[in-house]
Each structure stands twice: as C-alpha cells, then as structure tokens.
Amino acid sequence: LLIVVNRVLAYDRNVCPFSECFDLYFRPHRFSDIRKCIQRLQEESMAGDEQKLDNMASQKSGSIVLDRFLRYLVFVFAHVGGAGAPVPQNLTGQNVTAASRISFKKKEMNLSVRLKWLISGEMKTIKQKHMGINSEPPVFIICNNDRISDSREIQEEHKGYPSEAEADQALRDGNKLAQMEEAPLFPGESIKAIVKDVMYICPFVGAVSGTLTVTDFKMYFKNVERDPHFVLDVPLGVISRVEKIGAQSHGDNSCGIEIMCKDMRNLRLAYKQEEQSKLGIFENLNKHAFPLSNGQTLFAFNYKEKFPVNGWKVYDPVSEYKRQGLPNESWKISKVNSNYELCDTYPAIIVVPTSVKDDDLSKVAAFRAKGRIPVLSWIHPESQATITRCSQPLVGPNDKRCKEDEKYLQTIMDANAQAHKLIIFDARQNKVASTNKAKGGGYESESAYPNAELVFLEIHNIHVMRESLRKLKEIAYPAIDEARWLSNVDGTHWLEYIRMLLAGAVRIADKIESGKTSVVVHCSDGWDRTSQLTSLAMLMLDSYYRTVKGFEALIEKEWISFGHRFALRVGHGNDNHADADRSPIFLQFIDCVWQMTRQFPSAFEFNELFLITILDHLYSCLFGTFLCNCEQQRLKEDVYTKTISLWSYINSQLDEFSNPFFVNYENHVLYPVTSLSHLELWVNYYVRWNPRMRPQVPFCFSFQKKHIFLPKETWWCRIMWRYTADEVL
C-alpha cells in the first residue's frame, strides 16, 4: 500500500481526487481492509489476467469513497508498466516519470491524463447512481503497453473519452463528493446520529465548525473547509465522562459538552440547543459510550471484520508450559480448576507441584485471598528456579497458620535443588501489609515459614497510581508549561512509580538468574502488582517474550488468563467514572516495557506502534481481548466466539509492528537500569495529542532529488523506512 499509493501520489498528488479521503483511509485501523485489496490486486496483476482486474474494479464495498479509492488502485496496477508486472518493481526505477508513461495509440500519455480519463468515467457512474444524473456507462480502461481493451472496442483515438476540460471538471466533482462523504464505518458499525454545525473547541487551533457523527463505536467530527481537512475520530470506549457545560461565548442559545477521555485528552463541543433537542447529542453519546450502563452490549460483539489470522490461537497454556519444559518430575500441568471451583479468577489449566494432592490444594486456597494459590508462571531451563504467583495469606490479627500452605511453599522450594531458601516478594509497602493483617489479610512470617525470606518491594496501591496519572494528565494536556515541565513531571511521581516496578522486577529476575533461587510473588489479591512484576521479570529472563507473538502470549498468560480485572480497572462501557477500582495498572506495565525498549533497542521484535496500538485498544472495545475480568467471565459471555482478538488484527500485518533492528539473542537476560536518570516520560504516548510536541519537520518524499526526512518520533515515518531504505541508500 505504501509503495503503490504514496509513490504515485507523491509524483502527482494533485491529479488524484482522493487526496483528502486518502488521509481518511490511510490510518492504522484501515490498513487491514486495504491491505487485503492490495494483496489481491498484486496477485491478479502478476497473473496478468486483465479480466480479473476489470472484475475487481466493478466490485462494491458499500462506501462510495472507498469504491473509488480501490478502483483507483486497480487502475494503477493495470496501467503503470502494464498489467503483467507488479507495481513495486515498476515504481522503483531511477526515472519515475519515464516509468509511469505508456504508449496509447502511438501517443504519449502521462499518468495525469490517464488518471483524469479514468476518474471521469467513474464520475459518470457516481452521478448516475447517487445524484440522479443520466450518463453513459463508464469505461474502465485496461492498458498494456501498446494495447488497450475495455467494455467497448475503441476504434478511434479518444472516442468515448472526455476532453481535457471534462476531465478537470471530473476532478473537481470528485473532491466535492469526497468532502460530502460520511464517517467511515467498520463492518457491523451503524450511525446513530449526525449533527451539522457543531463547534469543536480545539485548544490548539481554536474553534472549528463541522459535522458530528455518532455511531455505536465512535464519535467522528469532520470539517471540510480547512486544508487539510480537520478530522477528529474518537472511539467511544475511550470516553470516561460526558458532561454538559455552558457555551455562551460561542453564540446565543448554544450549549456545550465536555468529554473526558482515558487516553490523556479532553474534548469540548458546542452546538445550538434546538439541534440538541432534535437529535440528542448528549444522550446519544452517553448511551453509546457507556453501553453496559444502558443495558446494551459492547461494540466488540458487533464487530464483523474478517482477518486471515485467528488471534485467539496465539496462546495455548499447554503448549506454552511444554515450551518451558513442563511437566517434569517436580511440576505437573493440572486441570483441578477446570470448572473454576478451586479459584474462580484463575485459568482452567494451572501448574502446581507434582506431590501436592488436590485436597491439600483446596485447603491452601481457603488460606489465600480469593483462593489464589501459588502457581507456577515460569521455570528456568537450567537451574529449575521458578517464579510462582499468588495472593496474600489470610493470617489475620491472630496470626492464623495453615500447615498445608506452609508445606506447599516448602515443596516449591524443594523443587529447586540448587537453593535452600525461598524468596517471597511482597509487592506492597510494609505498613500497608500490616494494615491488611488487621483486616484479615497479612503476610508470611518467618516463624511459620522458616526457609523463606520475605522482601517488601514498597510499591504503592492502585489508588496512588490513579492519582499520579491524573496529575500527569493535568500537566500534559492541553497546555504545557515549558518553564516548569521537568518539575511538573517530577511532581506527578509517575516515573518514580515506573522505577519502582522495574527495580522490583530486576530483583526478581536476578534472584532467578544469578541466585538460582525460586521466588514467590504476591500483593494483596495477586492480580495487579503481581501481574506487573511477574510479566516484567519474565520479559527480562526469556527472549521468547520479547518477540511479537511471545509478548502477546505473555499478556494472555500473566494478565488475561490469571485474572487481571481489566473491566474494573479500565471501566469498559461503565459510566461510573469515579469508581475506586479504576487504575492504570496495565498502562504502567506497557510503559515499563517501553522503557526497556529504549535501553535495549535491538532486543525486542516489536516497535513503539505495537505498544501504542495495544493501549489504544485496551480502551476502544473494538476487540474482545481485554474484555471482562477473568477467564470464567469470558467463557460465560462467549468472548472467544463472538468477538475478534486484537492479535488477529496485529498478526495480519506484522510488518507494521516490527522492529527493523531486532536481533534475537536467545537466553540473553536483560537488566534495565532503573535509575531515574535513565528513565524518561513516554512523550509519544502521553503528549501525542499536543501538536506542539510533535516533530516540526514534515515528511518529505521526492523522486527527483531522492531525499527523505524521517523524524524518528513519527511512527508512520518509521514504518515508511522499511519501504524506502533502498531509496536512501
């Protein structure tokens, strides 16, 4: 897509009437749709079957703009260099102008003229079908060097084709139609309201007037008067709160809406009250942004996209444990929780010590918060040192003991013959753990567990993290105080909490790798800080998790299957924005991963776009990957059969998420530096909505001078790099 479209448009962009809708569809969430068409086009082009290309040009997708856009691509494939050769080979020559010319009845016709002829033919069809204008059936040209064929045999030069003036008019009409185009829709998405003359109060460019479209998935605002056109595309799942505000300053009899988002931005809209009473903008936004609070389902259950890859098959627990060398003489793959009776927030398949009986597991579960017993997450391939995870013991103020639990931890230690001690990493602060003890929780005492060493990592709870992110949002959007930026960031303590997570994970990884000692990790309930620490430590220890599919499996295993409460922490479809259960736990984990990619740029197969895409769809509710709180709930809601996995989308276009500098060093352990001097704020994510924080040098593509500017902070420019490196060299 990048090669075919961008190079042609760069050569003569003004010719194409799709320049404005090109930006509309040239987005990450459209890549999958268009990539399929491109793949089919290239296959047919290489096969040299002009009839198939002609048939593709007549297919309808349901969108006027997209139909014309795809027919334009068919035209490019069929005309540039002939239908018998794939376009990428024909558009990479030294002289693109010469390469883009063909012979037509012994007359040189450049790309501009050919495009105009094609577009004029399309415009006749569009006018006839959608505007009630009678016209002749269009002629789709298939050229191959000195030969031309179409639905009619052309006997005379230019017969049946428009004049130059008619072609120019067709271009102008094409732009008008493109400007009138409604919001692009996903398969299964439907429009709920369209309101004109809505004012978006942009904090950077001022008030912008346009048309607001509300669907069951997104809020889409577009202004076609600006050049380039102003588009605001916000998935409704990103919205945290919608409030009415006064908007007297923007005209009489007007009102406004303020939209607080989970992705670091706030939006303000103003509109006339009579329009509000007719169309109910506020009500529509509230209804579809919070479907679960209004008795509806999340859009992920209506999304009908088809992908060539089934992302639900990325993670298979038995296969993953076998990859680690399990089962062995000390550990077994157990289905004791197959009905979720032992622990309703654990997966059906777990790994426990071989010698422990199921009855003893039940007694251990009764002594652990939420029944979350110690289970294996990862085992070292050589030393057999293990990472096990669980929740806090229910010791209580009376120091209650459980012989089965004590024996269970002793068995975990004995499974590793190279060490005679078990390290228990409690993620909480010492004082908080003591407070929990008074409430019935607690921690392992060294008197009850004589061969265990207890270490508190002093990581704050979910409420502190939520407040830290709130402060970060205040300083990052919309206005940035340049004079106090560093001190303001420091005042949020966000990087300090990132440092504490990384430092804790490094200690765990070091005990496993260098100390050859097994560790147990827990916090209070074992689904927040525990998931952060175990997954980060495993990422440091195991190079497999640093690949794209390995990282997906890591998230599926340590976060999704082991019951991180995504629905509660994110608030999917719920209008209770003040819910105390909300917290950016998973966001912190991804931030820590990004910090590691900065320190080890060639150690990870995925790029920054991969991480940002995961976070965007954490909120979007487009995919089923992060829905619900545990495996049992997902099965009950038929998530695996009625929704699509995020990994289906990502793994269908791996090139866009791949790190070109990746080197796969197997069995290489990473120890990131956790000093604050080596950590930085992830500006490309937290401050990405502020145009003043983006690179000031625009992307430039020149065939004649052969130079390219690639600002490293712009993800789509980095994607372009893999296609244009040959040009630079």
Q: Are 24 and 65 in contact (CB under 8 A)?
A: yes
- d(CA 58, CA 420) in angstroms, rounded, equals 73
176 is in an annotated binding site: no
Residue 199's DSSP bridge partners are 209, 270
Closest CA to 364 of 412, 408, 426, 415: 408
| b (16+ CB within 10 A) / e for 693-725 | eeeeeeeebebeeeebebeeebbebbbbeebbe
527 is in an annotated binding site: yes
Q: Are 269 and 255 in contact (CB under 8 A)?
A: no
Residue 482: other Cβ atoms inside 10 A: 8
3-state secondary structure of 572: coil
Residues written for the chain = 729
Query: Exposed (0-12), middle (13-18) or buried (19+): which is 399, by Cβ within 10 Å?
Result: exposed
642 is in an annotated binding site: no
438 is in an annotated binding site: yes
**Residue 74 tokens, joined:** 């068919």
Q: Where are the beta strands (DSSP E) in 34-133?
A: 102-104, 107-109
Residue 523 annotated among the catalytic residues of the structure: yes
667 is in an annotated binding site: no
In this structure, are strands 266-272 and 254-261 parallel, antiparallel, or unpaired? antiparallel
Q: Which of 523, 592, 628, 630 is catalytic?
A: 523
528 is in an annotated binding site: yes
Report how far apart, in Å, the C-alpha atoms of 182 and of each of 228, 270, 462, 540 are.
Answer: 17, 20, 41, 47
Q: Are 240 and 579 in contact (CB under 8 A)?
A: no
263 is in an annotated binding site: no
- d(CA 407, CA 405) in angstroms, rounded, equals 5
Backbone angles phi, psi at 65, to 5 degrees: -65, -45
SS (H, E, C) 231-283: EEEEEHHHEEEEEEEECHHHCCCEEEEEEEECCCCEEEEEEEHHHHHHHCHHH
63 is in an annotated binding site: no
436 is in an annotated binding site: yes
Report how far apart, in Å, the C-alpha atoms of 358 and of each of 250, 298, 336, 414, 660 are.
Answer: 68, 38, 7, 19, 48
The catalytic residue positions are 523
| Binding-site positions | 436-439, 461-462, 523-529
For the annotated binding site for substrate, the residues are 436-439, 461-462, 523-529
